[in-house]
Structure 1
């Protein structure tokens, strides 16, 4: 009987969203077990309010807080790992592709059974005492995480993504928008990878087309911060250019992830680039039109919702035209209205 099960997901927002079906499957299989999860300050809001999780352990990545003393950050993280060790987990599941740092975190939890992926050229792992070889066949990230549950006796098709917006944040968004009976289309204009980015000019052209042909409001969303920030580059400048060029658009600045989750939850359709916002929108059940660069569709496409991915052979998002995205939006609107 497993009494305590810990998930470890130390990477980006979308990766954590893609872990939620596995967490729910473990909750169904072991309804009385304590389920914990180790996440970071950057992605933690993804699992806030999730009823499948009993305890959330949040650590800091030193690169996310450059203003803090690195030694102090490391000491705080060590204390957090010591707390997890004291909680004596039966199983720790290291979610994601193999990395030495992820493996070390799993080992340091002190869990009796430690599950994680190892590369094909490694036969054994000192960190994982129940290691699985990285999958040979292409898989969606959700399926890759689910495969780690095989040692727990869970072998099924993953269900829906799960995310639970803050009701107080939803109320705040609705009060800000002051909308009537109109379609609301959210534009999220940010992406981490340069080849996945789409220019401000193309978003402006797309917005003009949508406003001319649809009875809709457009809400503008973006990653906060300056593009010049070397640690956490944002899109404040890009958003400001779009807002000045198109006063009809409704900007909603989200300084925290919980605010972005709430904003996306009130949209009818989401237009975005590849990234965490896309997976959040999928978890909220939103139809999605997404412009992609180099991302692998098999592994990262939106899960469980109507979607259209626009990606061409050069694997550069900027080569997709505003007309192409507009046509995809119209196609999706017809599909969801029929």
Structure 2
């Protein structure tokens, strides 16, 4: 047996004995969703193990929807952009003496010390650190070492030595043809012997969320036998937002085509439904103005589960490359993905999709704001192209009404 084969066998034997496993994924919703096939592989390979997901605090909303994990622990990681901003805000509150929180918790380093104490007491015997190729594994690996976790798996570009028991060379670079983010994480856990036959994204939609969405759609004017196209103009980074007025114009062109088709078939034309996240209401108004006002505006989803149920109920999602696109992949809804070329590895995973962009010399900039100010990778896509892409996907699901049984009066 070769030395490499012996190392692989030893690693798989050690990891098969793990019973308390910490899964670390500290970035945004889409990143966590793209990690769910790898998480499922761990769960299916270690059915008796206790799995804890360490994630940004906002990701605790995933708890009812990810039965593959036993608990989600929220953590503002200071080595992540959002985590650092949240901790800076807590520091500012602490300095002003207005937070009302225990100073030992929110003082600089207090958040990290509290987590370290918890991880140490809970006695994890293994940890898997999920990162994109532009992130360093070392801060999380150091946390795991301080917590006394003996088996730690992660991608490393530099030698990790004692920080990782199982160091997988990170050869990914942000470039054309790089591995999809889902494949990267599946390959990582496969190094420990964890595999799944179902590589789709995971998200369990709850029936009470479906009922709430059906009621909201009905109140907004959707008929019981009418399907709909969902438009979501938001994204956390401005560089990933297609102009909202152009998105509205795309919907206007799509509505014209669908209305003409419906007049021939005798079926009601699918409705256009607009939805966005908190603080993105101006984008909805801008899209609605360009659309000519003929769209449905159900109440904004009160929680993540309702957003997933809304995406699931739609015949098609038209959105920027953001969390809703990955929710669509998890619930099986086709997507027209307006894909800013900031990163190449986050395209829709295993669903019918059309990915629209304009190639530009500054592609793969990894910036939240377009550094060239022209935003051509998205602005170069015409509303007609968006509408045409939507039409090519619509026949797959237009026959499915959104307000199907069970009836709206069903219990949650």
**Smaller-chain TM-score bracket:** 0.7 to 0.9
SS for the counterpart of 1:152 is: coil
Contact 1:18–1:142 (8 Å) recurs in 2: yes
Q: Deviations over 1:91-111 (max 9, x none)?
A: 100001342433334334432
What is the CA distance between 1:156 and its match in structure 2? 6.1
Q: Deviations over 1:59-80 (max 9, x none)?
A: 2335247653466445244323
The answer to whether residue 363 in structure 2 is matched with residue 325 in structure 1 is: no
In structure 2, the residue matched to 1:107 is 145
1:249 to 295, 318, 324: 295
The answer to whether residue 200 in structure 2 is matched with residue 160 in structure 1 is: yes
SS for the counterpart of 2:90 is: coil
* TM-score normalised to structure 2 length: 0.73
Q: Which runs of 5+ in 2 are unaligned?
A: 1-16, 77-82, 95-104, 259-268, 364-376, 400-412
User: CA, structure 1 residues 248+144, in 2 after alignment: closer, same or farther (shift >3 Å)?
Assistant: same
User: CA, structure 1 residues 107+319, in 2 after alignment: closer, same or farther (shift >3 Å)?
Assistant: farther
In structure 1, the residue matched to 2:281 is 236
What is the CA distance between 1:243 and its match in structure 2? 3.5
C-alpha separation in 1, matches of 2:333 and 2:142? 37
In structure 1, the residue matched to 2:349 is 303
In structure 2, the residue matched to 1:190 is 234
1:9 to 2, 25, 28: 25
Moved more, 188-197 or 307-316: 188-197
Contact 1:4–1:88 (8 Å) recurs in 2: yes
C-alpha separation in 2, matches of 1:149 and 1:90? 16
In structure 2, the residue matched to 1:262 is 309
The answer to whether residue 339 in structure 2 is matched with residue 285 in structure 1 is: no
In structure 1, the residue matched to 2:62 is 46
C-alpha separation in 2, matches of 1:150 and 1:331? 36
> Cα RMSD between the aligned structures?
2.4
Moved more, 240-249 or 48-57: 240-249
Contact 2:308–2:327 (8 Å) recurs in 1: yes
Contact 2:20–2:123 (8 Å) recurs in 1: yes
Q: Deviations over 1:35-90 (max 9, x none)?
A: 11101122332343322111211123352476534664452443233222211111
What is the CA distance between 1:305 and its match in structure 2? 0.7
* TM-score normalised to structure 1 length: 0.87
Contact 2:249–2:287 (8 Å) recurs in 1: no
What is the CA distance between 1:289 and its match in structure 2? 0.7
Contact 2:248–2:289 (8 Å) recurs in 1: no
Q: Deviations over 1:284-307 (max 9, x none)?
A: 11111111121444x211111111
SS for the counterpart of 2:300 is: coil
Contact 1:210–1:216 (8 Å) recurs in 2: no
Contact 1:47–1:164 (8 Å) recurs in 2: no
Q: Kindly report which structure 2 residues correspond to 1:71-110, keeping only aligned pairs within 5 A, or say none.
A: 72-73=105-106, 74-97=109-132, 98-99=135-136, 100-110=138-148
In structure 1, the residue matched to 2:272 is 218
- In terms of fraction of residues, the more strand-rich structure is 1
Contact 1:143–1:158 (8 Å) recurs in 2: no
Q: Which runs of 5+ in 1 are unaligned?
A: 226-234
C-alpha separation in 2, matches of 1:208 and 1:35? 47
C-alpha separation in 2, matches of 1:182 and 1:101? 51
Contact 1:118–1:125 (8 Å) recurs in 2: no
What is the CA distance between 1:155 and its match in structure 2? 5.1
Q: Deviations over 1:160-191 (max 9, x none)?
A: 11012343332211101113211211111112
Moved more, 59-68 or 19-28: 59-68
Contact 2:57–2:73 (8 Å) recurs in 1: no
C-alpha separation in 2, matches of 1:220 and 1:275? 16
Structure whose CA Rg is larger: 2
User: CA, structure 1 residues 237+39, in 2 after alignment: closer, same or farther (shift >3 Å)?
Assistant: same
Contact 1:278–1:302 (8 Å) recurs in 2: yes
C-alpha separation in 1, matches of 2:353 and 2:145? 39
Q: Deviations over 1:117-155 (max 9, x none)?
A: 111xx2234422221111348211111111221342125
